[in-house]
Amino acid sequence: MLGYLGYCRRNMQMMNESEPTARRRRRPAVSCAPCRKRKVRCNRNLPCNNCCKTNPSRCVYEDNPPLTQDANLEPNRPLVLPNLEALHAERNASSLESSSRSTAPTLVFSDNHTTSTSPDFAPSEIESMRLKIKQLEEHVAKLTTSSSANTAASLAEPAVAPQIETCETAIGGVFHFHRAGSQRGSPYLSRTVMHKTRMFGQSHWIGIVPMLGSILTASEGYLRENPDAIVGLQKCKAMARIVKAKRFELASTVVADVPAKNIADDLVENYVRTYESVYRILHMPTFQKDYEAFWVSEQHDEAFLVQLRLVLAIGASINDDRFSMRISAMSWVYAAQSYLAQPIFKSRFTIQNIQTSLLLLLARECVGIGEEFIWISAGSLLRTAIYQGFHRDPEKLAKMSPYQVEMRRRLWNTILEMNILSAHCAGGPPMLSLDDFDTLPPRNLDDEQLLTEGPVEKPQTQYTKTSVSIAMRQLLPIRLKVTKLLNDINSSGTYETILQLDKELRTTFQAIGARFKRFASTNPAESYFATKWTELVIHRYITSLHLPFFAASTSNPMYAYSRKTVIESSLQISRLAYAAGTPHSFGCEPTPTNLNDVRRCYRCTSGFTRGAIMQATLVIFLEIKSQLEDESSFVQAQPRPDLLAANDDAKAWFIDCMLAGETNVKGLLMASYYSVHVKGLLRKATEDELPQGLVQAVKEANERGFEILESMIAENEGISAMDQLDHMSFDTMSDLPDFFNMPDVIFGSMDTDTMNWGV
């Protein structure tokens, strides 16, 4: 038996020696090499469950399974692949074959445990690793190609990082200009301006201040060398605070009584003739009925009384050239503000409350009470209206009467108008899109038709009190695009985008232009103020749209169209303000009453009109200065006469504003400074003569402003203004360095003047 076993053993040994090559399995191996060698079950992770207990670095597969990390590994031990860039370099050097045979790549773990593949690895394991290396090389090649393409694109259009420039002036304080550049070679643009505690987008008029950089720098040196000019400005600032404090005291203590009926009739008529033709807020037959009942009844409805006071305040702002009823108007606005601030909510969710809130916003802008913050209050009103369902068309809600349907549409239309205009004026994003509402525009109906069943809408060419509101609604989508482009922080419009929006804005306005011409011929007196207001709005939007490229247009002819557009629109705005007696573009001849309405709107009120004129004034000055300093001609260029006339008219206009109650002298100071600057350039003043003239202009402006402010106090209290300043010393300049180093103390957060640099 033992001999037979030995015989079999010798035969098997001879067979093994005659067949040195092992028989291969037809199915591919699914286990890792170590598990297959030990003939144990493998879970096919990398590393697998068995290799994790012994040596994880030896866990390799002959095939190429998904590289799934073992769930049993600690989360802080991620697998790190070999250095792909090194492998790619080795392959390019044609040494990968030999290096892979001699030394296998290492697997590095986060715990710094590093092991090399042992030399007793089977050939199949080395072949598997070679296959993985080849796949990794192909992946690296793709990434390298993609990275090269992106690098070439970035070199062709280099991204420009935002820049922040700071400008400190003795007159205006500290400005922070946030600039951004386009990737297509566009000029650096001032995206936002930070002044004091507020940030303004490009639609705010202060966006033109960065273009005055060299002028501000030069004037700063002149003023520091002549501190008397700064002392005069300090006196005016102190006097303005006294005037405002006295006004607030009088308006807060005086009982907000309604004036005599004959005066009240005139004020109500002023409102109906002007702002009600632009913003449809009231249903006039209902208001007139309650108004007549007010004078015969001893019991007054408080909600109606608040509305009446606000209407009177708005009408008082254009009642005369000097706004003589300002204190009464302020008291009416304060009373309405107190009424709406009462902690009563559910009972205020009515159409009448929406009307009162709109009248309050308009009255604040006309009277000059926190008008620079209208945008904030308008946003609150927008949300209140949405909470009441005004953003849904009434036809999609419960059944309503024609009166309710049309009043909801009119009020929502006015809310939209208030929001878009206040956002543009404040330099803020509108925070509203066309997808946020589906309320239809109001229909072209007279107020009397709303009291009947099934009113028939009149043709768009036939004038009603709602006609201008309907036309402005057609301009809302494009104006919304412009405001978003200028003020959204992530907007990145190119110059082609600017031109496209300009075309769309002009096309839309031309589409309704024929309608306005018909209004001017059939209802000249009723439509005059509304059409003038529409002209101002259109020119303000066009100017703001092209203004970011105005500075670059002086050196780059690519933006010549923007330069021409900004200049012409600014001239139109200045004509509306300085020469209100000229017929507007629709051919309507104004009546004396119409002329007074427009002139007083620009000189006595605040807000949108004041910002538009400030912007236009600065544009005209910059254009004149640019023409006079143009070195491309052998002879000095002569600016257009209309530009020179507008530059001179600005000073007179700012004086009229102060005579009408404006307390900020900066507008007058600016106009005087620039007027003298232009005259000095025209007569080719020397480097010594020009600074002297500028400083003298500032001194004269301060003196004129102080005289006007002094007369305001004398009218209110009957005492000399100098008595109010006895406790202040402005004769010595010992504190001048602190004044220059801390401009925000002098022009700080307490400065809420209407014509502030940050208005």
Distance CA 644, CA 615 (A): 16
Q: 385 and 411 in contact (C-beta within 8 Å)?
A: yes
What is the model's pLDDT at position 229?
Answer: 78
- Annotate 136-154 with b (16+ C-beta within 10 A) or e (fewer): bbeebeeeeeeeeeeeeee
Residues 71/93, Cβ–Cβ less than 8 Å: no
* Choice among 356-370, 480-494, 632-646 with the minimum mean pLDDT: 632-646
Number of Cβ within a 10 Å radius of residue 566: 28
d(CA 568, CA 550): 12
Q: What does each C-alpha distance from 34 to 29, 40, 112, 125 come to in angstroms?
A: 12, 9, 23, 9
In this prediction, residue 306 carries a pLDDT of 95
Contact 710, 657 (CB under 8 A): no
- Asked whether 509 and 475 are in contact (CB, 8 A), the reply is yes
Averaged pLDDT for residues 112-123: 42
Half-sphere exposure of 353 (CA within 13 A, CB side): 17
DSSP output for 131-156: HHHHHHHHHHHHHHHHHHHHHHHHHH
How high is the pLDDT of residue 715?
76
pLDDT of residue 500: 93
Flag whether pLDDT at 756 surpasses 80: no
With 50 as the cut, is the pLDDT of residue 592 above it? yes
Residue 380 and residue 423: Cα distance in Å, rounded?
13
Token pair belonging to 454: 């099934």
Query: Which residue bears the tokens 């204190």?
Result: 327
- Say yes or no to pLDDT of 135 above 50: yes
Q: What is the pLDDT of residue 473?
A: 95
Label residues 658-679 b or e (16+ Cβ within 10 Å = b).
bbbbbbbbbbbbbbbbbbbbbb
pLDDT at 138: 67
Instruction: Determine the average pLDDT of the residues in 509-532.
Output: 86
Region 700-726: what's the mean pLDDT? 73
Weakest-pLDDT range from 30-39, 104-113, 345-354, 477-486: 104-113
Best CA proximity match to 559, nearest among 494, 613, 482, 501: 494
Please give the mean pLDDT across all residues of the chain.
77
Residues 184, 591 contacting (CB under 8 angstroms): no
Helix residue ranges per DSSP H, 114-260: 123-156, 213-225, 227-253
Q: Is the pLDDT of residue 458 over 90?
A: yes
Position 12 scores a pLDDT of 57
Q: At 180, phi and psi to the nearest 5?
A: -145, 145
pLDDT tens, position by position, 555-589:
788 899 999 999 999 999 998 888 754 554 555 57
Asked if the bond preceding 592 is cis, omega within 30° of 0, the reply is no
Structure tokens at 594: 């119409």
Residue indicated by tokens 């992530």: 490
Q: Which residues of 8-30 are buried (b: 16+ CB within 10 A; e: fewer)?
A: eeeeeeeeeeeeeeeeeeeeeee
Q: How far is CA 168 from CA 104, 280, 618, in A?
A: 65, 44, 19
What pLDDT score does 714 carry? 82
With cut-offs at 50, 70 and 90, classify the pLDDT of residue 97: very low
Tokens 């999609």 correspond to 396
Tell me the per-residue pLDDT of 276-316, one tens digit each, with 9 for 90 and over: 999 999 999 999 999 999 999 878 889 999 999 999 999 99
- Asked if pLDDT for residue 666 goes beyond 70, the answer is yes
Contact 157, 181 (CB under 8 A): no
Report whether 333 contacts 313 (CB < 8 A): yes
Confidence (pLDDT) at 143: 56
What confidence category does residue 172 fall into, taking pLDDT thresholds of 50, 70 and 90?
Answer: low
Percent above pLDDT 70 for the chain: 71
At residue 128 the predicted structure's pLDDT band, cuts being 50, 70 and 90, is low
The pLDDT confidence band at residue 369, using thresholds 50, 70 and 90, is: very high
Assess whether pLDDT exceeds 70 at residue 158.
no
Amino acid in position 299: Q
> How many CA within 13 A on the CB side of residue 295?
12
**The most confident of 188-202, 395-409, 585-599, 665-679, by mean pLDDT:** 395-409
**Rounded alpha-carbon distances, angstroms, from residue 121 to 59, 62, 132, 649:** 11, 12, 16, 95
Which of the four pLDDT bands, split at 50, 70 and 90, describes residue 112? Answer: very low
> Is 90 exceeded by the pLDDT of residue 361?
yes
DSSP 471-517: HHHHTHHHHHHHHHHHH-TT----HHHHHHHHHHHHHHHHHHHHHHH
- The mean pLDDT of 210-237, rounded to a whole number, is 77
Q: Taking the CB of residue 718, how many other CB atoms lie within 10 A of it?
A: 7
What value does the mean pLDDT take over residues 258-264?
A: 94
The helix (H) or strand (E) run that includes residue 169 is strand 163-169
pLDDT band at residue 157 using 50, 70 and 90 as cut-offs = very low
Cβ–Cβ contacts within 10 Å for residue 119, how many?
8
Rounded-to-integer distance, Cα 546 and Cα 503, Å = 12
pLDDT of residue 523 exceeding 60, the answer is yes
Predicted confidence (pLDDT) per residue in 36-66, tens digit = 888 888 888 878 888 887 877 778 877 655 4
* DSSP assignment string, 613-671: HHHHHHHHHHHHHHHHT--SSSS-----HHHHHHHHHHHHHHHHHHHTT----HHHHHH
What is the pLDDT confidence band of residue 260, given thresholds at 50, 70 and 90? very high
Q: What are phi and psi of 53, to 5 degrees?
A: -85, -20
Q: What tokens were used for 345? A: 């909510």
At CA 188, angle to CA 186 and CA 191, rounded to 5?
115
- Contacts of residues 739-745 at CB distance under 8 Å and 24 or more positions apart, as own/partner, are 739/170, 739/230, 739/234, 740/170, 740/224, 743/168, 743/169, 743/170, 743/172, 743/173, 743/174, 744/173, 744/174, 744/196
Cα distance between residue 550 and residue 571, in whole Å? 15
Residues 6+ apart with CB under 8 A from 86: none
* 20-34, 257-271, 509-523: least confidently modelled range: 20-34
Cβ neighbours for 40, distance < 8 A, ≥ 6 positions apart:
50
